[in-house]
Chain A
Amino acid sequence: MNMENRFRLQVSLVILLLLGLLAWFAAAFGLDYRFALEKLPLLLGLQLNPEGLLQGVPLTVLLCLVSTLLALVIGLASALGRLSRNPLLYGLATFYNSFFKGTPLLVQILLIYLGLPQLGIVPDAIPAGITALTLCYGAYLSEVLRAAILSIPRGQWEAGKALGMSSRAILRFVVLPQAMRVAVPPAFSLFISMLKDSSLVSVMGLWEIMFLSQSYGRSSYRYMEMLLSAALIYWLLSVVLEVFQHRLETRMAASSRS
């Protein structure tokens, strides 16, 4: 057995032991897990809610997927604004960043959902939720991207200039590809965090995972059972993201060696 395989085996043993401890702790609650199992299809969103809207896992995944993609665009724009010497762009990006990082997401959701109707625009809950998640996580992401861009040595820019490349071309073909590698781990931590923060959209009456588990838990008086099921679902979803992150890192490492 080589060193690498031995290490992997030992890691698996440690993780199995920890999982066992967690299962023991969960069992110590003395909960009725058959009940949670019955409600699982509803949390998984295998059917629509009575108003014909998505519910459970598909709703959470939809909200997070769209918000993540939009946050990448806004985050990159804001990061470039913060690195720009144009006073308007810098001012806009700095203000946006400070406001959406510095105020609670719940307040942002309510500002969009309850505030806009006072101006005559009445957004539905799903677009309002996506807007709030995008703006909030775009601000965090912009800091991650800005730090990643700044981590690329000045020499790279100077080398690009010496080759006669424009600033835009250097950014696009030299700096950003390297910066992305640096940004992947913290960016994925943000995506996982967004996955769980998305439960705040339930204040607008969206039946996402936490909303359903709390509602079923309260109305059937099996609160912990339902919360633990929700926790397990979130964890599995975030493991999917972790696997994706790992693959992306491996691919980027391989392409940078070649």
Chain B
Amino acid sequence: MNKQGLINTAAALLPLLLAVPAHAGTTLDRVSNSGELRGVLLESYPPFSFLNSKNQLEGFDVDVVKAVAKKLNVKLKLDTPSWEVIAAGKWGKRWDICICSMTPTREAAQVLDFPVIYYKSPAVLVVNASDKHTSSIKTLDGKKIGVQQGASYERYLQKTLKIEAPGAIQPSFPFSKVNIATYDNEEIIFQDLALGTGKRLDALVSNLNTANERIARGGKFRVAATLYAEPNWVAVDKGDAQWQARVKQVVTELKQDGTLAAISRKWIGSDITQ
């Protein structure tokens, strides 16, 4: 082989060497070959996913991912890395699916793909039960509002939230500027608000279902206002169109045959999957 031929061959091989990102179908192949679906979940997000007293994961999200695995006719393996690790994307073949109440914000859509929506839950403004007046975020300008770091609620309070989903209704921001207090975990936000209005917080932003769960368990809180409808989508690692199509098909079937509605009624008390 002459020198020119060598260079031509190298030039022809180069694109093959550089094509590292996930090829279409790799996740789908992995799941069907191994007979195992590897999902990620949060371990402390009741009633969606949490560790129960028997040391097992359970909740709305857990039942949905179990139903997906059953439909695919594969075994299920669940992992519980931190939210930051899940949301960083680039799962490196570790995980196949995240049915973990994720909202496709602009930032999340850059690192993950979102094949299908599986429930909607309103984002709400929660105040201490002793605050009988607040009925809108409009009156909270300059007040201190607690929110979980990295959650879409934080972007809402920064007025930068944009939901990257087909047909999504974009939130409006009827306030000029609030004082945002970001927390590492939602438990502490609720505890700080429970101390009383204005002690450490004036309000917090969370999800209607988690807030209701706390109020039902005797938390001294009140849902003051609904802020925007937050769609929660199934998330998968970037770049596998065939896997996305398969996931979308399975979840749509589960919606149609009433499985999702039944799971929703079991954990939430109403159907939030429509």
Residues of A in contact with B (beta carbons under 8 Å apart) = 38-39, 42, 47, 49-51, 55, 110, 113-114, 117-118, 122, 202-205, 207, 211-212, 214-221, 223
For A49, the closest partner residue in chain B by CB is B55
Residue B56 at the chain A interface, CB threshold 8 Å: yes
For B95, the closest partner residue in chain A by CB is A205
CB-defined contacts of B169 to chain A, threshold 8 Å: none
Q: Known interface pairs A50-B57, A215-B50. Does A207 touch B85 (Cβ–Cβ under 8 Å)?
A: no
Is A204 in contact with B46, judged by CB distance below 8 angstroms? Answer: no
From A47, A204, A205, name the one whose CB has the most chain B CB atoms within 10 angstroms.
Answer: A205
Is A218 in contact with B93, judged by CB distance below 8 angstroms? Answer: no
Q: Which of B46, B78, B81, B94 is A51 in contact with, Cβ under 8 Å?
A: B78
Residue B77 at the chain A interface, CB threshold 8 Å: yes
The number of chain B residues with a CB under 8 A from chain A is: 34
Q: Which of A51, A117, A218 is B185 in contact with, Cβ under 8 Å?
A: A218
Near A by CB (< 8 A), chain B positions 10-27 give none
Docked pose: A50 CA to B77 CA in angstroms: 9
Q: Known interface pairs A47-B55, A219-B51. Does A205 touch B46 (Cβ–Cβ under 8 Å)?
A: no
Extra inter-chain contacts (15) besides given A117-B94, A205-B40, A219-B43, CB under 8 Å: A38-B53, A51-B77, A117-B91, A122-B92, A122-B93, A122-B94, A203-B82, A205-B82, A211-B43, A214-B185, A218-B44, A218-B50, A218-B186, A219-B44, A223-B188
CB-defined contacts of A220 to chain B, threshold 8 Å: 53
Q: Known interface pairs A114-B88, A212-B51. Does A203 touch B44 (Cβ–Cβ under 8 Å)?
A: no
CB-defined contacts of A42 to chain B, threshold 8 Å: 55
Q: Which of B53, B78, B187, B217 is A218 in contact with, Cβ under 8 Å?
A: B187
Docked pose: A42 CA to B55 CA in angstroms: 7
CB-defined contacts of A50 to chain B, threshold 8 Å: 55-57, 78
Docked pose: A47 CA to B53 CA in angstroms: 13
Residue B84 at the chain A interface, CB threshold 8 Å: yes
Residue B259 at the chain A interface, CB threshold 8 Å: no
Docked pose: A212 CA to B80 CA in angstroms: 11
Residue B191 at the chain A interface, CB threshold 8 Å: yes
Q: What is the distance, in angstroms, from B47's C-beta to the closest C-beta of chain A?
A: 9
From A49, A204, A215, A218, name the one whose CB has the most chain B CB atoms within 10 angstroms.
Answer: A218
CB-defined contacts of A217 to chain B, threshold 8 Å: 44, 187
Which 5 pairs across A and B sit closest by C-beta, in order of nearness?
Answer: A117-B92, A219-B50, A218-B44, A205-B81, A203-B82
For A217, the closest partner residue in chain B by CB is B187
